């Protein structure tokens, strides 16, 4: 198995080339993008199926709920099955789900299709775990950073891709073209990836014991507990911003169009740059320092963000800081947890990402409630408070573990 941490021995050669890592990034970005296609298309879909716009919110809710279920029920299979076949198989099923939405004759087929898309999109996390297994210990952070960059770009471009293609060929074309691209990627990955038995030992546990062992890992691994808690905080902060940002931007005195508001997402490209750089820092042994600096930037970012109404330049600067910080902590955390138990990487990823999902949902709900009662400055105070708690939590856990070196980088 590639991934044994030899005490004092040279690290084994990596089984993943730069080109293969790039393909992983494309596949991960393509898979995660499928969750976000529907967001700019809800009005168009509701008109075609004669549904109230409010009812179309079920599309987003169903996708997110099923994604969370997939994290628990599907991602751990990466420790039991051949990841090459599992990834290709899930992507082929995603093709079927995308086609079901693209050809949906009624709302029932539409809802079922988007639910299946959400469930199967967790192949993104299996890709991260497999890429980490293929990488040598000294470059694992960099490889994880590359794949995460693809995820960030996929999220960023999904709405732009969906909106542009809908204008050109209708909303169904979004899902049909995505199905074709996903099919091509599934076949390509199946042809070039090695059998995962060559790079990791398969877990012999029965399926339900495998799922239960995700919870057991939280009991056994302190690094996972700490990093999962940080994931909850940072993605709560991330969601607090992005869920409520449309409200002040679309209201007077700014009254920006949806296209203009969507353009602010381009500032999130900085997150992709942060992901790659943070991975290299983790490989160099600077995981904790990177985390501390990034969490400090996350807290500071809310100051320029609070001036959104007065200065769009300040808002863009704050968005860049926030996205850099979140992605830096995210990649560093993944690099750390994927180093501690090579035989359980998929389950570690599943457990960590469940807290990511809970944090995102919590931030979304909290931000809209706070905005309704306290306005944009209330949202910024909320985001700063969550960011401050994350920094304080990291500082306390670091102090308590300073006598013991956490299993981190190699």
Answer whether 232's CB lies under 8 Å from 355's CB. yes
Cα–Cα distances (Å) from 292 to 321, 324, 354, in that order, read 14, 13, 23
What integer is the mean pLDDT of 134-139? 84
Mean pLDDT of the chain: 84
The C-alpha atoms of residue 92 and residue 107 are separated, in whole angstroms, by 23
Predicted confidence band at 202 (pLDDT cuts at 50, 70, 90)? Answer: low
Predicted confidence band at 107 (pLDDT cuts at 50, 70, 90)? Answer: confident
Asked if the model's pLDDT at residue 372 lies above 70, the reply is yes
For the segment 20-35, what is each residue's pLDDT rounded down to a tens digit? Answer: 889 999 999 999 999 8
What integer is the mean pLDDT of 130-135? 87
Could you tell me the residue ranges of all domains in the chain? Answer: 13-202, 205-410
DSSP string, 208-238: HHHHHHHHHHHHH-HHHHHHHHHHHHHHHHH
The encoded tokens of residue 298 equal: 């996350």
DSSP string, 70-102: HHHHTGGGGGTS-HHHHHHHHHHHHHHHHHHHH
**Cα torsion 180, 186, 187, 192: sign:** positive
Fold of 205-410: Growth Hormone; Chain: A; (1.20.1250)
The C-alpha atoms of residue 338 and residue 346 are separated, in whole angstroms, by 9
The secondary structure of residue 308, as a DSSP letter, is T
The C-alpha atoms of residue 104 and residue 259 are separated, in whole angstroms, by 27
The highest-confidence range among 51-60, 281-290, 399-408, by mean pLDDT, is 281-290
What integer is the mean pLDDT of 73-100? 93
pLDDT of residue 8: 38
Minimum mean pLDDT range among 28-37, 197-206, 252-261, 383-392:
197-206
For the segment 165-198, what is each residue's pLDDT rounded down to a tens digit? Answer: 888 888 899 999 999 999 999 999 999 888 755 5
Q: Do domains 13-202 and 205-410 have the same CATH topology?
A: yes
Closest CA to 72 of 368, 409, 346, 392: 346
The highest-confidence range among 42-46, 116-120, 399-403, by mean pLDDT, is 116-120
This prediction's pTM: 0.80
Closest CA to 114 of 40, 183, 38, 52: 38
For the segment 261-292, what is each residue's pLDDT rounded down to a tens digit? Answer: 767 777 777 666 666 677 778 778 888 999 99
Asked if the model's pLDDT at residue 3 lies above 50, the reply is no
Cα–Cα distances (Å) from 163 to 42, 56, 200, in that order, read 11, 17, 41
CB atoms within 10 A of CB 5: 13
Asked if the model's pLDDT at residue 377 lies above 50, the reply is yes
Asked if the model's pLDDT at residue 406 lies above 60, the reply is no
CB atoms within 10 A of CB 36: 19
pLDDT of residue 405: 47
DSSP string, 179-190: HHHHHHHHHHHH
pLDDT of residue 258: 58
For the segment 338-364, what is each residue's pLDDT rounded down to a tens digit? Answer: 888 888 888 999 999 999 888 888 887
The highest-confidence range among 145-149, 208-212, 283-287, 303-307, by mean pLDDT, is 303-307
For the segment 290-342, what is each residue's pLDDT rounded down to a tens digit? Answer: 999 999 999 999 999 999 999 999 999 999 999 889 989 998 998 899 888 88
pLDDT of residue 391: 97
Residue with more model confidence, 52 or 245: 245
pLDDT of residue 14: 56
Alpha helices in 139-170 (DSSP H): 140-169
**Residue the block writes with tokens 């199926």:** 49
Q: Residue 202 in 3-state DSSP?
A: coil
For the segment 235-260, what is each residue's pLDDT rounded down to a tens digit? Answer: 999 989 987 887 888 788 888 875 67
Closest CA to 186 of 347, 13, 342, 34: 34
Closest CA to 341 of 79, 11, 24: 79
CATH of 13-202, one of 1.10.30.50, 2.60.120.10, 1.10.1760.20, 1.20.1250.20: 1.20.1250.20
């Amino acid at each position: 198995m590639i991934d044994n941490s030899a005490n004092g021995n040279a690290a084994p050669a990596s089984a993943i080339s730069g080109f293969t890592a790039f393909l992983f990034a494309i596949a991960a970005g393509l898979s995660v993008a499928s969750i976000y296609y529907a967001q700019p298309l809800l009005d168009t879909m509701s008109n075609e199926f004669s549904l109230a716009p409010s009812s179309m919110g079920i599309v987003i809710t169903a996708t997110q709920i099923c994604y969370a279920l997939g994290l628990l029920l599907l991602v751990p299979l990466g420790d039991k099955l051949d990841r090459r076949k599992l990834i290709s198989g899930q992507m082929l099923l995603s093709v079927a789900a995308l086609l079901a939405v693209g050809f949906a004759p009624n709302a029932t087929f539409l809802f079922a299709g988007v639910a299946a898309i959400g469930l199967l999109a967790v192949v993104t996390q299996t890709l991260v775990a497999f890429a980490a297994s293929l990488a040598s210990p000294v470059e694992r952070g960099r490889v994880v950073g590359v794949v995460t960059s693809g995820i960030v770009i996929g999220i960023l471009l999904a709405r732009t891709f969906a909106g542009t293609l809908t204008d050109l060929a209708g909303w169904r074309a979004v899902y049909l073209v995505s199905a074709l691209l996903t099919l091509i990627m599934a076949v390509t990955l199946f042809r070039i990836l090695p059998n995962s038995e060559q790079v990791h030992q398969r877990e012999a546990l029965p399926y339900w014991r495998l799922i239960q062992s995700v919870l057991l890992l939280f009991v056994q691994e302190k690094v996972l507990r700490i990093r999962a808690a940080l994931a909850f905080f940072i993605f709560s902060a991330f969601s607090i911003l992005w869920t409520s940002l449309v409200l002040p931007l679309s209201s007077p005195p700014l009254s920006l169009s949806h296209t203009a508001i969507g353009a602010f997402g381009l500032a999130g490209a900085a997150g992709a740059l942060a992901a790659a750089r943070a991975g290299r820092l983790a490989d160099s042994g600077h995981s904790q320092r990177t985390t501390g600096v990034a969490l400090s930037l996350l807290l500071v970012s809310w100051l320029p963000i609070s001036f959104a109404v007065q200065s769009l330049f300040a808002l863009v600067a704050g968005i860049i800081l926030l996205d850099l910080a979140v992605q830096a902590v995210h990649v560093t955390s993944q690099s750390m947890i994927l180093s501690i138990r090579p035989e359980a990487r998929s389950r570690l990823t599943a457990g960590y990402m469940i807290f990511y999902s809970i944090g995102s949902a919590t931030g979304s709900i909290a931000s809209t409630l706070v905005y309704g009662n306290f306005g944009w400055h209330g949202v910024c105070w909320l985001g700063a408070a969550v960011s401050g708690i994350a920094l304080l939590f990291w500082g306390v856990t670091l102090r308590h573990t300073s006598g013991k070196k956490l299993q981190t980088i190699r």
